[in-house]
Structure 1
Amino acid sequence: MQVYKAFFRIIQKNRGQILIYLVVFMVLALLLTNAYNPPQDTDFTKTRVNIAFINEDDDSQLVAGLKNYLGEYANLVDLPDDSQKLQDALFFRQVVYILRVPEGFTTAMLNGQEIQLEKTIVPDSPSNIYMDLLINKYLNTAKTYITYLPELTQTELVSYLKTDLTKETEVTVISSVRHSDNAEKSGYYFNYLSYSLFAILILGVCSVMLVFNDTDLKRRNLCSPMRSATMNVQMIFGNISFAVLTWMVLISASFVMYGSYMFTSNGLLLLLNSFIFTLAALSISYLIGNLVKSRGAMSAVANVFALGTSFISGVFVPQELLGPNVLAIASFTPTYWYVKANNEIAAAANFNTDTLQSIFTSMVLVLAFGVAVLGVTLVLIKQRRVEG
């Protein structure tokens, strides 16, 4: 196993550059975990908004009942009936809704005539819809009583309205699954993992290939008693061992930070996706290692390739924020499909056929990239051997 041992001796001598990317990844992962804020509860909750109620009609019991009803769901702000002051109140958000009851409202309602209330609102405020629903609910209920029980007095009408409108139905929302807070955090973690993994593999594999592709060393190896096939097998085994070891080191922190989540379906799929990406990244690194001719070029390629693919594929900037042209270019890199699968895994509260099909399609495409690049590399090595 002389070649295998020599492989890791070379890695050991280049550990400084490799450790830089490892430390950068760990720092990013820790900062991400500490800075992450879980999404707020999206359940519906009642919110009291500030409204102004201006009555130009008589102080009837029907109008008073409407005012009291709205007061149960909103804060009634006392404002003078002055257009300038009312506009200022809306502008400075002292109120978001001004309701004006026109003159003759009570008489028109009791006689079954159509009459419109006037409103002045803050544009595009969701509170407007809520207040409209409350007002329409009160008026429609009153209209129903007036239509079918016209003999009711205002006192009886307001009493019935108060009784009916205070009735509420309890609604319980039952969720069959609970999306863990670790889901989104782990998705970011494994997305960032691709950057460091790519850079480490390129640096490690290239540093070894630069040594073994040296002309004088190759000639000496050809004169050695060890068969070329044996040397190639040990070299392949060394590359795979280095890639798997790097993958294990990078994923190890996820078990510490996310604990039992990594043993769920989501966590295991993230691990599988990252392992497949490791094989593809190793294949690309092996190709680059057979192309670069100097240590300076090795560092440049590692930075450009790892950073470039990360920026356009959604590692540092979410894919949904990238333009279609950028994503079209990124789709020709395995990093894009790796990140796409990660995002789908992290977002899935449960898995169905369509979700799994999309995830495994992305994984297969990542693996296909690796196989295709490996094929190109083997052809390149064979051609060089024939020419040499």
Structure 2
Amino acid sequence: MTVFRGYLLIIKRNWGFIFIYTALFLLTMLIIQGETQKKEEKEFQRSRLKIAVVDEDGGILAEGLTNYLATLHEITEIGNAEGTLLEAIYYGEISSVIRIPRGVGEKWEVQLTKIPGYAEADYLKQQINLFLNQVQFCTENGYSMQEAFALVNQQLEEKSVRLLNLNGNQGKWESYYYIFRFLPYLSIAVLCLILSIPMNAYRKKEIRQRLQCSAVSLRRQTVEAMLAFLVVGIIFWAAMIGVAIIFSKNSFFESPHAAYLAGNSFLMVLTSLAMAFLIGAVAESENVINIIVNVTALAVSFLGGVFTPTSVLDKGILKFSRILPVYWYEEVNNLLAGFREITPERQSEIWKSFGIQCLFAAACISIGMAVLKIKEQKED
């Protein structure tokens, strides 16, 4: 097992690199998980804006509108001076100013001053118009102003949001799905680098000549090299599964998709091993390997939907992304995260993605072997 031990020895020398990449990966996961939980807590809460109300009318309608807005937003008392109000908007102390003119009950309109381009102010304007239209409708049909206020406020209290659990996952992603989402980048960056370097070292002319003179046959050299690749890949894959289990606090075992997630991630690791083999066959030096690996890991991760959702990509770019195994890996991960129940149609999509990843890995190995054969013929 001379070649096998040689591979592991060279990989051991790059242990510091593996540790740094993995530590950064875990730190990123912790930050993403924390921010995601905060977002989920606030996602369906009503936004309360900081606003100011200038009542120039002083009538019962103006008072009712002010009380209505106070239940929805935070009204700040900063005076009625024009300069003070504009200064407060400029420095972000308030988002909008509602000025209730004299005789508001005649035109049923108010003036709204807002931060330019502030979309939430348009939502505020809709709330004001809805209140005035409902009150006007009630008073024109025989209700008093106080009765109209009561009816509008009653409708406000009765409104609620009920989320339908259509997908069976409560509309949330489990924490371990984010680990699997970013796995392709770490897998390609780490495995391609630490495995391409020893492969490149064994391709040096003097080492190849020594091996040719030894009792180790070329076939055995290839088998031991492939075995080293596979052992490192399995160790890496098992470590990532362990990280997912730790992050999920053992809820990973309760997932109905645990087998699919494990299989999908294992195929991604195998694909990374195949890419490492191809890069090791093409590159001529360690410096070239570093450049190729860094560019490849970032490019396929961006195009495959690791860092940005594929839904925001251009259609032309998306056509190219479908060639990449990372795209199909992320499709499976998103499908498993979004649906608790796997229907036969979804299952066929999963197996299709698995097949494409396997074909890509096979293509990388075939091209890599062809490149090695051509280089050996030229050198001989």
- Give the TM-score band, short-chain normalised: 0.7 to 0.9
Which of the numbers 171, 175, 192 marks the counterpart of 2:186? 192
Distance 1:102 1:9, change over 3 A: closer
Q: CA deviation at 1:206?
A: 3.9
Larger Cα-atom Rg:
1
Distance 1:125 1:29, change over 3 A: same
Q: Deviations over 1:35-58 (max 9, x none)?
A: 332321201225253222222x4x
Matched, 1:23 2:13: no
CA distance in 1, matches of 2:347, 2:51: 48
Q: Is the 8 A contact 1:309 1:333 kept in 2?
A: no
CA distance in 1, matches of 2:63, 2:373: 93
Q: How does 1:92-171 map to 2 (within 5 A)?
A: 92-106=91-105, 108=106, 114-149=107-142, 157-167=144-154, 168-169=157-158, 171=160
Identify the residue that residue 277 of structure 1 maps to in structure 2.
268
SS of residue paired to 1:52: strand
Distance 1:160 1:18, change over 3 A: same
Q: Is the 8 A contact 1:190 1:342 kept in 2?
A: no
Matched, 1:318 2:307: yes
Amino acid at match of 1:129: D
CA distance in 1, matches of 2:221, 2:79: 92
CA distance in 2, matches of 1:48, 1:381: 65
CA distance in 2, matches of 1:126, 1:270: 40
Q: Is the 8 A contact 2:22 2:186 kept in 1?
A: no
Which of the numbers 7, 24, 41 marks the counterpart of 1:11? 7
Q: CA deviation at 1:9?
A: 2.1
SS of residue paired to 1:38: helix
CA distance in 1, matches of 2:74, 2:370: 77
Q: Deviations over 1:148-172 (max 9, x none)?
A: 22xx6xxxx1221232123122533
Q: CA deviation at 1:266?
A: 5.2
Distance 1:346 1:300, change over 3 A: farther
Matched, 1:38 2:35: yes
CA distance in 2, matches of 1:372, 1:258: 35
Q: How does 1:199-278 map to 2 (within 5 A)?
A: 199-208=193-202, 214-221=208-215, 236-237=226-227, 239-249=229-239, 251-263=241-253, 264-265=255-256, 267-278=258-269
Count, aligned residues: 362
Distance 1:327 1:370, change over 3 A: same
CA distance in 2, matches of 1:61, 1:384: 90
Identify the residue that residue 290 of structure 2 maps to in structure 1.
303
CA-based RMSD of the aligned residues comes to: 4.1
Q: CA deviation at 1:105?
A: 3.4
Q: Is the 8 A contact 1:186 1:258 kept in 2?
A: no
Distance 1:125 1:6, change over 3 A: same
The answer to which of 230-239 and 271-280 deviates more is 230-239
Q: Is the 8 A contact 2:187 2:272 kept in 1?
A: no
Amino acid at match of 1:371: A
Amino acid at match of 2:48: T
Amino acid at match of 1:7: V
CA distance in 1, matches of 2:318, 2:120: 41
Q: Is the 8 A contact 2:282 2:368 kept in 1?
A: no
Q: CA deviation at 1:362?
A: 4.6
CA distance in 1, matches of 2:77, 2:175: 44
CA distance in 1, matches of 2:49, 2:235: 57
Amino acid at match of 1:318: F
TM-score normalised per structure 1: 0.73
Matched, 1:62 2:46: no
Q: CA deviation at 1:327?
A: 5.7
CA distance in 1, matches of 2:372, 2:84: 82
Identify the residue that residue 53 of structure 1 maps to in structure 2.
54
Distance 1:238 1:147, change over 3 A: closer
Q: CA deviation at 1:197?
A: 1.7
User: Is there any run of 5+ residues in structure 2 with no aligned partner, and where?
Assistant: none
Q: CA deviation at 1:368?
A: 1.9
